[in-house]
Structure 1
Amino acid sequence: MIINRAFYRETAVTTLGIAVVLLIVMSMMNLTWLLGRVVRGGTSESVLYVLLGYQMLGKIDVLLPLAFYLGILLTLSRWYRDSEMTVLAACGIGLMHFLRPVMLIGLSLGVVVMVASFYTTPLTVRQIERVKVESSQRLEPDQVAPGVFTESARAGRIFYAERTRRDGGLEGVFVSSLEQGNQGVLVAKTGRPFTDAKTGDKFIALHDGTFYEGEPGAANYRILEFGVYNLRIEPKMIDEPLVPMEGLPNMSLLGQLGNPKASAELHWRLGKTVVLFVLALYAMVFAFTDMRRGRMSNFFVAIVIYFIYSNLLGIGETMLQSGSVPASVGLWWVHGGMGLAAVYLLRRRLQNLPLFTLPMRLKRA
């Protein structure tokens, strides 16, 4: 049917556009946060874009339901605004006709959301934790941020460099270490990390500097000037990262069904797909545009409904984790309540009745 094809095309394009915009906005927010960590020395610059990519991949199951919700809302709102829905209604095609196309699109997107929720997102969480652990336990020169004092994985050693060159070299290097009870300070004009070809040991070659050892004023205090000083970097064994609950595989969660947190995580993953279909019903309800009330009135209410739904899910997950709600109930009381409310409002919309009615006493007042 021509109308269905037009609806499919416009809804798909709008949903895709909104998803791209949301992804870009979220990418900018996460990039700002990661850059702050790099400046503070908490994250290596070399893994910045790796972490950003994993974080964006892990947001697919959250962004798609919202993009689909807004895509349906904006598509049908435009049709109402341009009187296309009025013409279709005169031809015997009402709002209920679009329920089937909406659900068909929802099924295809629901498969993507389910795969992302049960597989992609937990995998990205595990990879992010692994990258963080590997980055925090890398060799000291890899962690040096210009103008920031960086504590190395080796206790008692602090690195500082005024600038880093594009070729990996360092300028204005300061190294402080405590070895065998003696305080040592190295100051060099330049430095460059390298690996010994024979032993495979890691070093940083410091050029044109001064070595201060001991406590100033003590008899054993020494000051040595050097042309080249190879400072050995002792590697640290990389520990296995601690995987949070949201990063555990599905089978691991199923093996911990007695744990309220594991049950809450399973319900949360399943709920992301359910949310997509419930929001689709709300989009059909609030797509109606009354030009006398303005174009944005229903859109504002739709956004409020989304935040209410999201907050209720967050509250429900917290109650599940604390054991206040049985695992058999899960988050279904939230989905069921919001779903029934959506069906009720859709029914009133089809009957051309006001969505929200005031009690008679308030009307008389």
Structure 2
Amino acid sequence: MLILQRYILRQGLLASVLSLVVFLGVVSALFLAELLGEAAQGDLPGGSVLLMLVLRLPEAIMLVGPLALLTGLLMTLGRLQEESEMVVMRSGGLAYRKLLRPVASVALLWAGGLLIVSGWLSPLAVERSATLLADAARNAVVAGLRPGQFDRLNQGRTTIYVGGIDRRSDELSDIFIQHMEDGTTQVLTASSGRLWLPGEDEDRYLLLTDGHQVSHLSEPLEGGIREMSFARNELKLPAPEDASVESEASFSLPQLWPADTPSERREWHWRLAAPLAGVLLGLLALPLSSRKPRQGRHGSVVAALLLYLVYSNAIHGGLILMEQHEAMRGPGLWPVHGALLLLVLGLFWRHWRAW
């Protein structure tokens, strides 16, 4: 490989990695806001937010990886155009295929990395996230409580206040609980209590001692108010929402083919979408970076972003159609990739003729 080709290869990879870091920062901020919202609702322990954010990185890479490659290559090739280095290459007799080689190498390397992420790393992250959420759902009542503060659980239906917590024995003191369900409100106070998990797959109970209970309808004047005192009360807690995910999301790519169900077939097409997009968009950067003298450098970037938006929306639209029809046969997402491939070939032919 020529020194010039190695330079383009190195600069293209570096610019793509930097673009990926920037895009991951933006997407991670959105994911973090979503996770913090779940933690505020009591669906996720606060201490697990950062771990869940790390486990969602493969998903973020699949979303923005192809765009980062396209942006990085456009930045690299656009700089060569702006500084007239492309003109020097053409006047020096550099063959078009020698310019294509480093660009194709970057695209293939990037697509290989996306294939590893979508085919193997993403299922591992999904499986780990499901396990973490299942454990958090069982232990969130104690692990998520903060002494001296009101905590909301079960999507805001339950509010708990405890004056103190003994983390070694999970003993609670000075307990206040308000639970609203099906138009009924219950308010309980107790001097002490503890969480009771009878078994791995059984219900959860909160054992309260020396307390008082008040229950009424949403409109207290309609149904009256019921009051009672108790020495011991076993309060059955609402069952946590199922934190499991669809089984195909935790399958590796080889396990999804041949597909046995429409959902597995749809998942298989989705896993291949990011690597194929990496190849096609990476190759597309070369003809898109070409521009006439004195033409602005941002025109190709805007066109590339618009093209990526249309392409990514078409992929998600195809996935929605596959989900609605639940068919085991059909073109799937291949027409979307095929349309972009035809565009790439057409632009390559035009660029090669102009070279």
Q: State the TM bucket, normalised to the shorter chain.
A: 0.7 to 0.9
Secondary structure of the residue aligned to 2:56 is helix
Aligned to 2:8: 7
Q: Is the 8 A contact 2:13 2:72 kept in 1?
A: yes
* Distance across 2 between alignment mates of 1:221 and 1:278: 69
Displacement after TM superposition at 1:18 (Å): 0.8
> Deviation string for 1:184-205 (max 9, x for gaps)?
62266xx89799xxxxx99899
Aligned to 1:91: 92
* Distance across 1 between alignment mates of 2:319 and 2:111: 21
Does residue 188 of structure 2 align to residue 185 of structure 1? yes
Look up the equivalent residue of 1:131 and give its one-letter code: L
How has the CA–CA distance of structure 1 residues 12 and 163 changed in structure 2, closer, same or farther, with 3 Å as cutoff?
Answer: farther
* Distance across 1 between alignment mates of 2:257 and 2:114: 20
Aligned to 2:200: none
How has the CA–CA distance of structure 1 residues 283 and 232 changed in structure 2, closer, same or farther, with 3 Å as cutoff?
Answer: same
* Distance across 2 between alignment mates of 1:307 and 1:282: 14
Secondary structure of the residue aligned to 1:288 is coil
How has the CA–CA distance of structure 1 residues 184 and 242 changed in structure 2, closer, same or farther, with 3 Å as cutoff?
Answer: closer
**Equivalent residue runs for 1:1-365 within 5 Å:** 1-93=2-94, 95-138=96-139, 140-144=141-145, 146-151=149-154, 158-161=159-162, 173-176=175-178, 185-186=188-189, 211-213=211-213, 241-244=243-246, 246-250=248-252, 253-254=256-257, 256-257=259-260, 259-290=261-292, 292-323=294-325, 327=329, 329-352=331-354
* Distance across 1 between alignment mates of 2:53 and 2:318: 29
Aligned to 2:221: none
Look up the equivalent residue of 2:31 and give its one-letter code: N
Secondary structure of the residue aligned to 1:128 is helix
Q: Is the 8 A contact 1:124 1:247 kept in 2?
A: no
* Distance across 1 between alignment mates of 2:215 and 2:145: 26
> What TM-score results when the alignment is normalised by the length of structure 1?
0.75
Identical positions, percent: 22
* Distance across 2 between alignment mates of 1:163 and 1:24: 38
Displacement after TM superposition at 1:148 (Å): 3.6
* Distance across 2 between alignment mates of 1:241 and 1:274: 31
Displacement after TM superposition at 1:308 (Å): 1.1
Displacement after TM superposition at 1:83 (Å): 0.7
Displacement after TM superposition at 1:276 (Å): 1.0
Q: Which has the higher contact order (CA 8 A, sep 6+)?
A: 2
Displacement after TM superposition at 1:45 (Å): 0.8
How has the CA–CA distance of structure 1 residues 177 and 278 changed in structure 2, closer, same or farther, with 3 Å as cutoff?
Answer: closer
Look up the equivalent residue of 2:141 and give its one-letter code: E
Look up the equivalent residue of 1:111 and give its one-letter code: G
Of stretches 31-40 and 240-249 in structure 1, the one that deviates more from structure 2 is 240-249
Secondary structure of the residue aligned to 2:139 is coil
Of stretches 164-173 and 20-29 in structure 1, the one that deviates more from structure 2 is 164-173
Secondary structure of the residue aligned to 2:150 is coil
TM superposition outliers: structure 1 runs of 4+ over 4 Å:
161-173, 191-195, 201-206, 213-216, 220-224, 229-241
How has the CA–CA distance of structure 1 residues 172 and 304 changed in structure 2, closer, same or farther, with 3 Å as cutoff?
Answer: farther
Q: Which runs of 5+ in 1 are unaligned?
A: 196-200, 354-365
* Distance across 2 between alignment mates of 1:281 and 1:347: 12
* Distance across 2 between alignment mates of 1:321 and 1:202: 39
Q: Is the 8 A contact 2:322 2:332 kept in 1?
A: yes
> Deviation string for 1:43-86 (max 9, x for gaps)?
21121112111111333333332221111111000100111111
Q: Which runs of 5+ in 2 are unaligned?
A: 181-185, 197-203, 217-223
Secondary structure of the residue aligned to 2:290 is coil
When the two chains are superposed, the root-mean-square deviation of aligned CA atoms in Å is 4.3
* Distance across 1 between alignment mates of 2:318 and 2:288: 25
